A and B are shown apart, each in its own frame.
Chain A
Amino acid sequence: MADLRVNLCGKELRTPVIGASGTYGFGGEFSGIVDMNWVGAVSGKGLTLEGKAGNTGVRLYETPSGLINSIGLQNPGVRHFIEHELPAMRALGPAVMANLGGSTIETYEEGARLLDATDVDFIELNISCPNVKAGGIAYGVKADSAHEVVSRVRKCTTKPLIVKLSPNAENITEMALACEAAGADGLSLVNTFQAMAIDLDKRRPVFDNVFAGLSGPAIRPIALRMVYQVCKAVKVPVVGLGGIATAHDALEFIMAGAAAVQIGTANFANPRACEDVARGIADWMDAHNVATLDEIRGAAL
């Protein structure tokens, strides 16, 4: 059978399929449904140094081929995660990616120091949450701001540091190059697109925060274009995400140069999506006499 293993920033993943932050809990939520042997890594719910209750009002809104969310980084905080959620997440089997958000550079730094002292495999630095005013999006739009926060966090951890980029960046390629120059070991993209909806009865925006983040199949072709652009520009590995729901979708991102892929919103339409995508990639590789993903990665570049 095809060899699905991936070396991501020096860590071996069993498959290139990663449960995306914010859609996979801390992994255990899906362990009765998904054979975790098919999941390369789980990126946990986005953490902040102190816990957050998240946003008020409507949090989810379905659109044609998409989902707009305004969760607002509800999470138990880094210390609670380390003490209570990490041990079970570690025991699941897939590599552990801790997703870290922040409001100030100092809270990013402190969060990274705390995570550095644990056995998480990766830190995924979220500079792209659109749903919290000071939730990192400020750092995700301007390349020089991103450079500063990534440089500072880099000094706080020796863990593989993957920076998660926002598609709302002014220029995705410049953003990627700035993060690479600041010491990122890898990049993941894209987070959600800023979007909105209006309630006709109330004649008001649906979301208390007005804007919220769009994910799902609706964003996939744009995400793929951005992953392709970034893979052309940088040398560090890129994790592709944005509306991936099938093995076909995942293979497109891999041929665009992605080292691995994350599955997010698709887990809601099909809770077995991560396993199905990984199995589907293996089937496609077998049918096309592809032994390892290295043979096809970046083929379209």
Chain B
Amino acid sequence: MRAQSCDAPVLENSVAASDIRLMRVRLPEDQPLPKAGMFYMLRAWAADEPPLLSRPISVHRWDEASRELEFLYQVKGKGTEKLAALAEGETVSLTGPAGNGFPVEAARGKKVAVVGGGIGTAPLLQLVREVHPIAAQTDFLAGYRDEVYRIDAFEPFCSNIYVATDTGSFGKKGFVTELLGPEKYDVVFICGPEIMMKNTARMCLEAGVECYVSKEGVMACGLGACLGCTCRTEKGEPVCVCKDGPVFEGSVFYG
């Protein structure tokens, strides 16, 4: 599937937590359909306005019937500040869907844990929406620094939800890794900060449990052209986060 570019009308751009926004757009009819784990390059400013690069944001939720597409994103810098300033009725430019997406079929008939850290939980909502109907069990394990967000959206698609916060403001005080007993699952999907993904993937691999991680990368194009988001696998092979990923088997990086 080739990525395309379009302008999508913004239906909602609301506050999900202090620095977290939820943007809902309508994907135009002629656009290819996204899947869990894919992402778009978002831009809400002209090509000649800073920042130079568009921002890669993962698909949070996609509903084919209404063609509503949601992005959950953290306001971190100039680009996401401009995204956050978009009002209902304005348009956002999208290039995508990009990336390989999660291997959802790996969950069929299996006991599945979906493990997220902070804004890394963003692509996991669409994942549980796709995994829940075919998996034997779908547990969501989420870690946040302090503020907890969007848990309610996961509830209809999860067998169990376990939450940890660094501050202890909600759920267990501590890291999400402390919630995970990998031996209880057949497949684990992970997205979060690098250190959290590394620790979680290593726990899974040591227990002999199949796991997948969704990586983040600074990228210029999202299309595999600029090679800015290349990172090295455990074996030293260069791979593109945007095109070969963002989802990789855990052993590719943490084996």
A interface residue numbers (CB < 8 A to B) = 22-25, 29-33, 45, 53-54, 56, 58-60, 62-67, 69, 71, 74, 216-217, 245-246, 265-273
Contacts and interface: CB of A to CB of B under 8 A. Distances in A.
A267 B32 CA distance: 21
Contacts of B237: 53
B193 interface: no
Interface in B82-101: 95
Interface string B1-30: 111110000000000000000000000000
Contacts of B230: 54, 59, 71, 74
Interface of B: 1-5, 32, 41, 43, 47-48, 50-54, 95, 218-221, 223-230, 232, 236-238
12 contacts: A32-B4, A54-B230, A54-B238, A59-B229, A60-B228, A62-B51, A66-B52, A67-B52, A217-B48, A266-B47, A267-B225, A269-B54
B238 A64 contact: no
Contacts of A273: 47
Nearest to B237: A53
Contacts of B2: 31-33
A25 B53 contact: no
Given A32-B4, A33-B5, A268-B52, A245 B219 contact: no
Contacts, number: 102
A65 B50 contact: yes
Contacts of A74: 227, 230, 238
A272 B219 CA distance: 17
B223 A30 contact: yes
A60 B4 contact: no
A63 to B, nearest CB: 8
B190 to A, nearest CB: 24
A268 B52 CA distance: 8
Contacts of B226: 22-23, 60, 69, 71, 268
A65 B46 CA distance: 12
Contact of A60 (B3, B218, B223, B224): B218
A246 B47 CA distance: 10
Contacts of B218: 58-60
B52 A33 contact: no
